Amino acid sequence: MQKNFLLFLLATVSAHAAISQPVSVTGGKVSGVPARDASITAFKGIPFAAPPVGDLRWHAPQPVIPWTGVKVADKLGTSCIQTIVTEKKPWTYEFMAHNDVSEDCLHLNVWTAAKSASEKRPVLVYIYGGAFAEGSTAVPSYDGEGLAKKGLVMVTINYRVGVFGFFAHPELTKEAETKTSGNYGLLDQVAALRWVRDNIAKFGGDPAKVTIAGQSAGASSVNALVASPLAKGLFVRAIAESGATLAGGLGAAGTKLEQAEQSGVTFATAKGAKSIAELRAMTWQKITEPLPAGGRGGRGGLIVDGSFLPLSVAETMAQGKQNDVPTLTGWNKGEGGATPNPTVTAAAFQAQAKQRYGDRADEFLKLYAAATDEQARVAVNESSWDQQRTGAYLWARNRAKTAKTNAYTYFWDHALPGPDAATYGAFHTSEVPFALNTLYMSERPFTEADHKIADQVSSYWVNFATTGDPNGKGLVTWPAVGEKAETMEIGDKPGAIPVAGSAEKLAFWEKFLTR
């Protein structure tokens, strides 16, 4: 009897702790479900745009189709069209999507611990990576509970990838009101951010305190949104994990519309389609069939289309036309050619140096000695780390010429534990479960030290999303980028460190990267 009463009491308290349901959003009403922690309510698979199918394939996202009754938002929506694989080392289960795929994929998810709609908690909208060819909110590491438990309203969004997200063609350009084509995946992101602006207050979030964040292609998306006039006013802070460098990050130059259109024509021809109508009539399975040997075109990436991106990301930043918001960005120790166990030989390293650095190769080899294989293996890592950190620092210094807000850079050094830790170390994406506080979504052998690192790093992210400054009580001070050439090392050894191993090395990279 006493046990039953206690269970009833706990259920009652939990119900009172959750935000009032159902919640009325654009399109209809939704009801959420308790997350693992009953103090968090999760709303999964909420449509934010009409399904981009039929005539809406390769079209800017359209208003969501209203529904009747209450939609039970208890399940993640399908992933956008891509090839689903269980793992692709070093990316194991927790870094991959595992659900069905569909063109009807424009859904988002919200996690909140707010007890009422009046709380105005800061909001973080996370954008997945995957080289613009894959990725999904169904990737376990992107679960939103970890940061919702620390005070944020967490949102993850789906966007079209591959040929369905970044396909340009003269016929598509002609039919569009904006007289552009491509960038559909990025337009999906804008549509999702507009949904957040219009609806997030009902989940206890503050539409005036939205941070956009993403990793890899998600970071490239963040950089593009910062540069896009279509995203103006939709966010006030930005986090780009792997990241931003002197040229502005992955895809900063973009592809000119005319070039992207020609690629689209090549793709359509390879598919045997004489018109966009014929392409739209094909099944997605037919569209994604491999092209004949030597076939090209169709996939694309960021496009300088005159609308979403009037200029490239780099040009936008140089002209000071970006959305000027505090930015946090950085790179990982195991990126850019660095690895825990390099296998390069002295001869190969020297040959690569001569090919890459030309008349500066001798200067490079004096700074990074490689007379023996052992020296070369040390040099390949040290030169990679120095280049990455200096590139991010110089990007931030260049940014400061036109921006009034602060930038913070980092260098992630913690190896993700597991049987392959010695092989892959702090590889590309390995910081995500720590930054999002989602170690619980992985079966890796995490220790108390790992959980401590996750708490520290996710606290930096939460503080930044809350105030535009990662610093807070109990954390090692993270300096904003200034005249001093330093970055913040996070993970195993938190603290500010020089971006390069010596003044001479810094000078070399500055000359090389600004050439």
Please give the positions annotated as active site.
216, 335, 428
Bridge partners, 23 (sequence order): 30
Cα 358 to Cα 85: distance, rounded to the nearest angstrom: 41
Q: Quick count: other Cβ atoms within 10 Å of Cβ 233?
A: 12
Phi and psi dihedrals of 187, rounded to 5?
-65, -30
Answer yes or no: are the C-beta atoms of 413 and 456 closer than 8 Å.
Answer: no
Determine contact, residues 107/99, Cβ cutoff 8 Å: no
Among 352, 463, 496, 481, CA closest to 405: 481
The b-or-e profile of 479-508 (16+ CB within 10 A means b, else e) is: ebbeeebbbbbbbeebeeebbbeeeebbeb
Share in percent of the chain as helix, strand, coil (round to 5): 40, 15, 45
Residue 200 structure tokens? 């997030």
The secondary structure of residue 333, as a DSSP letter, is T
Query: Residue 514 corresponds to which tokens in the numbers above?
Result: 């600004």
Looking from the CA of 316 toward its CB, the CA atoms found within 13 Å total 25
Tokens of 98: 């595992």
What whole-number distance in Å separates Cα of residue 155 and Cα of residue 148?
9
- Taking the C-alpha atoms of residue 316 and residue 238, their distance in angstroms, rounded to an integer, is 16
Q: Which helix (H) or strand (E) holds 332?
A: strand 327-332
Radius of gyration of the chain (CA): 23
Q: Report the distance separating Cα 216 and Cα 130, nearest Å.
A: 7
Strands across the sheet containing 407-412: 33-34, 41-47, 107-112, 153-157, 121-127, 205-215, 237-241, 327-332, 407-412, 486-490, 495-498
Please, are residues 225 and 186 in contact by the beta-carbon 8 Å criterion? Answer: yes
Angstrom distance (rounded) from CA 378 to CA 338: 10
Measure the CA–CA gap between 368 and 126, rounded to whole angstroms. 38
Nearest-angstrom CA–CA distance, 106 and 190: 12
| DSSP per-residue string spanning 61-113 | --PPPP--SEEE-BSPPPBPS----S-BTTB-GGGS--S-B-S---EEEEEE-
- C-alpha–C-alpha distance, residues 50 and 234, integer Å: 20
Q: Which helix (H) or strand (E) holds 154?
A: strand 153-157
Q: Helix or strand or coil: residue 389?
A: helix
